[in-house]
Structure 1
């Protein structure tokens, strides 16, 4: 387990979240640990089902009940225990806000957009309708919605996907949170709009000085905006470090596989190398390392012992990986980078 960072705004240690199902309990997050410092952007990366969104739900205290529950670990925000009863609810919106994955399902279809944004000011700051409307208009302009004064009274279905996501960002920023969590903010958007949304988040973060947690399965989306990355697989953190360090010196086969499956626009035209197989069934995880059935480096040791998350051989101390053969993976990844 990594030592506690005294400068961190958010500290997550050994977080475990379990869901009760008809087939038995499922551990969706299995011992996740990471930090988020003030003003920093941290990306939670991984395939669908890796535990990224459930981790975010646990931070906000919105794990679906009664099936889901946090079964272990600690989560501290600015010295406050987020897992203590009532703490997350008290801080949600004011200190910690979230942009959800699907804005169309998150926005109420029967209320005008301006009213939904303004409700944040009315509920939390006691603003009048007129004051809330003025605040909503200013936020819509700030997030780049054209003709905001005319769009204020439109309904969610009258906005494009990218504009709806801007509305969700406006709502999240309403109370000037210190930590913003964005869960797949560019899903189902075309490449151009994706870039616009990411640029918007980066600009707003710089203006507000807030910390940002980006949840995504797309490595390319966060390459230019994240400071650090946390790779998750089957509910566990398998690699973490600075964005450049992890991308250029992958120490876990899963990370290396993800990197090999991303096309390089300005590089040589080569066939992509996908990761074979599929993510494991969380009800029937393999023994030892969960990635073992898909791993080209797998040996008998991998079935016997689950690798701990430890500093990667020969890399900076904050670059950590959970692989028995991290040194081999590093050498191969660096060889591929040199050949490219």
Structure 2
């Protein structure tokens, strides 16, 4: 039984050979993923690169279809093949390329080292088994715990994620819990083996605002407590403002902007990020109209030439339609953007921020 189930921090199993390299847990390098369908090849991921350090929270943002969940599935090694194929790149965990491992070796990483919270708890939990049995299964299979110890471990994990009366509810079935409680059970399963990296895929989908805040606070607490690297996948920029260290914005399978959390909210450098931020309702402005990005994300089997965002972009010019997609380059220290007109977007963003936040200069923007 691991030390964490007895109340301590994240242990490193004696047999584990996984050691972060200079604090770096994960490196995704130039990742490409395709889905081969009857309608053609869908280019779901197109050269994505990012990293994750111990204790860091990286938020990956974008609309549905931008490639967030596919990136997570590629990291976990759970892409359905066919039709999904990783066609290029590397996924390094503690310096080792996971794409070079056998399936048996990947199973030794999946769960004990890198774990995932799936976005739909009701469909992810097995409806015919008690929730305690499903949590305990992780401990029986991966830690060799006997039934009694595994059950006690499941109860402690349920208590840790703040499920009331865990000992009495350990034999309850998923349908007997609310949506927020089911999401907590999913979190308990994900942390059962003390992973170093936790991927949370839309963990607050379909939850009300109060429960969203509770789930986000719990994830932040667990991340700090266990020094996990946390990848938080969401389409809602408002959810991650207080918990993320860095933000990566995706569109059409590409990263279009990366930055520390505060600068990106203060002055986005890419038109897509700017549009996402403008769509968030603001409590300090009464009667404002909700802004929306016109059009729809592209069909990934027919991504438009040039910058993929150009059909929806208010800054688009001929260079955006005909030249190759702009690379993700550093535009300021710690900030990268993939736009031909980053300077103009930043300047506009800063003017708008100054106008709507009169105290920005004093706050040290």
- Compute the TM-score of the two structures, normalised by the length of structure 1: 0.96
Q: Pick from 311, 314, 317: which aligns with 2:330?
A: 311
State the partner residue of 2:121. Answer: 103
Cα drift, residue 273 of structure 1:
2.2
Cα distance in structure 2, aligned partners of 1:182 and 1:264: 26
Cα distance in structure 2, aligned partners of 1:179 and 1:147: 29
Cα distance in structure 2, aligned partners of 1:243 and 1:73: 26
Q: 1:149-188 to 2 correspondence within 5 Å? A: 149-188=167-206
Cα drift, residue 6 of structure 1:
5.5
**Structure 1 residues 200 and 30, CA, compared in 2 at 3 Å: closer, same or farther?**
same
Cα distance in structure 2, aligned partners of 1:337 and 1:267: 13
Alpha carbons 1:94, 1:177 under 8 Å: kept: yes
State the partner residue of 2:133. Answer: 115
Cα drift, residue 267 of structure 1:
4.2
Cα drift, residue 304 of structure 1:
1.8
Q: Does 1:223 align with 2:241?
A: yes
State the partner residue of 1:289. Answer: 307
Cα distance in structure 2, aligned partners of 1:85 and 1:66: 19
Alpha carbons 1:59, 1:88 under 8 Å: kept: no
State the partner residue of 1:199. Answer: 217
Q: Pick from 274, 281, 298: which aligns with 1:263?
A: 281
Cα drift, residue 270 of structure 1:
2.6
Cα distance in structure 1, aligned partners of 2:186 and 2:36: 31
**Structure 1 residues 7 and 135, CA, compared in 2 at 3 Å: closer, same or farther?**
closer
Q: Deviations over 1:102-150 (max 9, x none)?
A: 0111111111111110011110111110000000000000000001111
Query: Over aligned residues, Cα RMSD in angstroms?
Result: 1.1
Q: Does 1:91 align with 2:109?
A: yes
Cα drift, residue 7 of structure 1:
4.1
Q: Pick from 58, 61, 65: which aligns with 1:45?
A: 61
Q: Does 1:320 align with 2:336?
A: yes
Cα distance in structure 1, aligned partners of 2:182 and 2:66: 26
- Compute the TM-score of the two structures, normalised by the length of structure 2: 0.89
- Matched residue pairs, number? 333
Gaps of 5+ in 2: 1-20, 357-365
Matched residue of 1:240: which SS? strand
